[in-house]
A and B are shown apart, each in its own frame.
Chain A
Amino acid sequence: MAGALPSRTRWDRRLLRWVREHLVVFAAIAALFYMFLPIAIVLLFSFNNPAGKFNFTFTKFTWDNWLHPCRPAGMCEAVGVSLKLGLLATLLSTILGTLVAFALVRYRFRGRNATNMLIFLPMATPEVVLGSSLLALFINIGATQGFQTILIAHVLFCVSFVVVTVKARIATLDPALEQAAMDLYAGPFQTFRRVTLPLVMPGIVAGALLAFSLSFDDFIITNFNAGTTVTFPMYVWGISLRGVPPQVNVIGSLMFLVALALVLVGQLFRRSRPA
């Protein structure tokens, strides 16, 4: 018997529902704009020719900064130090972290909880505490601060992040695949080389990239343990009170664009193979 249906499909109700349903999406996009606003500013102001020493108002457009990025004294040296540091720290922390990740996922052992805690704590500790504690150590043993101490510090806080990233990847690995490999006459080393490693590699690469960006960008911990060595963030900090040259924005923009390009290439590469 056809009765009267409730009038839930009136146009104003529908509009309200559409807005409500998509409110979340609007909020999300607004959040994304908010996140990119400073990046846009950085990029924009890299083309600025500032009137005075401070690069806060846009006066004149110029390519000059991009063409002569190393004009500010000491900046490119600092970038060089940061790059060297980043590469070394990435190499060491990726190796250490990958080993730990395999141990945590593949094996049962005593002290598992303690290990989890030990890996987690450096990620949770404020940088001030990490940096100052290392400094306290170095002072107490009388070590001079410089490149090596910074390197030690960087590897320290990168390892945990590598562990998390690689561990996540290993966990998605179907154990049946390695069993299939063994079933098909591959010994332990062969299995690792032909099946496990290729499949875990994306996680290792992701961990390495993360380690590099963490290292390159670090300021607080580096500042505590640098001595006279100057990394790029330290350079920026030092010069921030006196007036930041636009070339700093150039470096910042470059970092962003290069990283973005790398990730996009990685995505395209993965898109060519089905999920």
Chain B
Amino acid sequence: MSAVAQIPASVPTPPPEPAEAGTTRRFTPYLLLLPGVLWLVLFFLVPMITLASTSLQTGSLEQGYQLTWRWANYTDALGTYREQFFRAFLYAAIATLLALIISYPLAYTIAFKAGRWRNVMLLLVIAPFFTSFLIRTIAWKTILSDTGFVADVMRGLGLLNLSDGRLLNTTFAVVAGLTYNFLPFMTLPLYASLERMDPRLIEAAEDLYSSPFTAFRKVTFPLSMPGVVAGTLLTFIPAAGDFINRRLLGNPQNTVIGDVIDSRFHVIVDYPTAAALSFVLMIAIVILVFAYIKRAGTEELV
């Protein structure tokens, strides 16, 4: 008898089987799923298709739009706004990296060193979220303002010569704002991943002659990779599309792709271009996500 088919020795109570394999049992999951999935299909999938279709249209607000399969919309958009794309991804990448560096010790502490304070610390991580995102970002204007404390200190240290003497309305401020706003998105998945780790593995590593730093490098960090990847995705993706930080903390010279999409929809009404840009952004993200799923499967996603 093949051992493969053996029931594992310590199977905790398995889920019960239906007394009869009736039809009601088989349809129940679909019934439960129906309202939610329908909503998502109608208001997520269909709009994506509409977006794709809009991106291939020509026309204007006065004349109306027609689906002309104008693929040139894409090449035009990518050509004109290449810089904004690049800048958006660059800012997002830097912000993600910074968020990782700042969040990791925080997540590590909560997972391994917090003890009774664990829930309180988790609460503290989430708490800033309770204030409005816009209000928080505006608060950074106050913190980084030219007459503020931070600017004074840095001017005194001579660090501001690089950006013509100001913190606000610079790339630095934009990236700082991005990093700040997405910290919980990085911290929580990291924490979840670290929390699942057995701390005795670190002890074992140290018992086997590794220094604390080596133990981190060889044991802790690799085991926390799922959290790192999840946090990276959850931070980078929204950051790449964000334009609020740029609008409030940056200047008109460092616009990002989110700005362009927003203005194309609201200010200069050019739906096809905007749709094309939006779709490109979406495709880039989807590629990233698929790359992740290839390695990790879909069960950990939700």
* Chain A interfacial positions (CB closer than 8 Å to B): 20-21, 23-25, 27-28, 31-32, 34-39, 41-42, 45, 55-57, 95-97, 99-100, 102-104, 106-109, 113, 115-130, 132-137, 139-140, 152-153, 155-156, 159-160, 163-164, 167, 174-176, 178-179, 182, 213, 216-217, 219-220, 223-224, 232-233, 236-237, 240, 244, 248-249, 251-253, 255-256, 258-260, 263-264, 267
User: Is B63 part of the contact surface with A, judged by Cβ < 8 Å?
Assistant: no
List chain A residues, Cβ under 8 A from B108. Answer: 24, 28
Dominant SS among interface residues on chain A? helix
The answer to whether B135 touches A118, judged by C-beta atoms less than 8 angstroms apart, is no
Chain B residues contacting A36 (CB-CB under 8 Å) are: 124, 127-128
Please report the C-alpha to C-alpha distance between residue A118 and residue B103 in the assembled complex, in whole angstroms: 28
* Chain B contact surface mostly: helix
Which chain A positions have C-beta within 8 A of B95? none
Cβ–Cβ < 8 Å partners of A256 in chain B: 127-128, 130-131
Q: For B281, what are the chain A residues with a Cβ–Cβ distance below 8 Å?
A: 126, 128-129
Shortest A129–chain B CB gap in Å is 5
CB distance from B73 to the nearest CB of A (A): 13
Contacts A/B (CB < 8 Å), 19 sampled? A28-B110, A41-B143, A96-B36, A107-B28, A117-B293, A120-B298, A125-B282, A129-B241, A134-B47, A136-B271, A155-B39, A159-B36, A175-B16, A233-B133, A236-B138, A252-B131, A252-B136, A253-B131, A258-B130
Cα A232 to Cα B132 with chains together (Å): 9
In contact, A240 and B145 (Cβ under 8 angstroms) = no
Known contacts A99-B36, A136-B51, A256-B131: A176-B13 contact under CB 8 Å: yes
The 7 closest A-B pairs by CB, nearest first: A126-B241, A27-B105, A28-B109, A107-B29, A259-B130, A133-B47, A38-B139
Task: List residues of chain B with CB within 8 A of the CB of A123.
Answer: 234
A240 B248 Cβ-Cβ under 8 A = yes
B48 on interface, CB distance cutoff 8 Å:
yes
B225 interface hit (Cβ, 8 Å): no
**A182 and B16 contact, Cβ closer than 8 Å, known pairs A104-B302, A128-B243:** yes
B125 within 8 A of A: yes
Residues in chain A near residue B138, CB distance under 8 A: 236, 240, 244
Give the complex CA separation of A249 and B134 in angstroms: 11
- Nearest A-chain residue to B54, judged by Cβ: A136
- Whether B242 sits at the interface, judged by CB under 8 Å, is yes
Cβ distance A266 to chain B, nearest Cβ, rounded Å: 10
Q: Does B231 contact A (CB under 8 A)?
A: no
Chain A residue at minimum C-beta to C-beta distance from B265: A132
Residues of B within 8 A of A244 (CB): 138
Cβ-defined contact, B180 with A35, below 8 A: yes
Chain B contacts with A in 255-295, Cβ cutoff 8 A: 257-258, 261-262, 265-266, 271, 274-275, 278-279, 281-282, 285-286, 289, 293
B20: shortest Cβ distance to chain A, in Å?
Answer: 13
For B241, what are the chain A residues with a Cβ–Cβ distance below 8 Å?
Answer: 126-129
> Which residue in B43, B109, B143, B242 is a CB contact (below 8 Å) of A24?
B109
Q: Which residues of B contact A125 (CB under 8 A)?
A: 237, 282, 285
Complexed CA–CA distance, A135 and B124 (Å): 36
The answer to whether the Cβ of B301 comes within 8 Å of any Cβ in the partner chain is yes
A27 to B137, CA, bound (A): 23
**In the complex with contacts A132-B51, A237-B134, A260-B127, A31-B106 CB distance below 8 A:** yes
CB-defined contacts of B105 to chain A, threshold 8 Å = 23-25, 27-28, 31
Q: Which of A35, A57, A153 contacts B147 (CB 8 A)?
A: A57
Task: Give the distance to chain B from A226, nearest Cβ to Cβ, in Å.
Answer: 11
Q: B183 in the interface, Cβ–Cβ < 8 Å?
A: yes
Most buried by B among A28, A36, A176, A249: A28
Q: How far is the CA of A108 from the CA of B88 in the complex (A)?
A: 41
A39 to chain B, nearest CB (A): 5
Nearest-neighbor residue (CB-CB) of A48 within chain B:
B142
Q: Are B134 and A240 in contact (CB under 8 A)?
A: yes
Bitwise interface map of B from 1 to 29 toward A, beta carbon under 8 Å scored 1, else 0: 00000000000111110000000000011
> Shortest distance in angstroms between A131's beta carbon and chain B's nearest beta carbon?
8
Bound together, the chains give a CA A148 to CA B171 distance in angstroms of 37
Asked if residues A39 and B128 are in contact (CB atoms below 8 Å), the reply is yes
Contact partner of A115 (CB less than 8 A), chosen from B37, B109, B140, is B37
Do A96 and B39 touch across chains, with their CB atoms under 8 A apart?
A: yes
Expressed in whole angstroms, the Cα–Cα distance for A244 and B143 within the complex equals: 15
Question: What's the nearest-Cβ distance from chain B to residue A3, in Å?
Answer: 20
Which residue of B37, B130, B285 is within 8 Å of A260 (Cβ)? B130
